[in-house]
Amino acid sequence: MYFILVDLHAHKDTREILGRLNRCYPFPEDDVQRGVHQYLGPINRRIVKAAAEALERAMRSGLES
């Protein structure tokens, strides 16, 4: 897994971020909100599943050595 950490030197407003996320559910009203549904739904599930499978393969491979 690769992670990218970025400091944007910007103010973070957690309440604003959570408020915007909450407005996306349960029914998205625009393309941005539909994108949030995709990235936090099926796309996220696919990434997590692939990562879990890769970890399982790595663990099995390590046990077989």
**What digits encode the pLDDT tens for the residues 12-40?**
888 998 999 999 999 999 999 999 999 99
pLDDT mean over 33-61: 94
Output the pLDDT for position 12: 84
Q: Are 24 and 37 in contact (CB under 8 A)?
A: yes
Does the predicted model carry a pTM greater than 0.75? no
Give the HSE-up count for residue 13: Cα atoms under 13 Å, Cβ half-sphere.
6
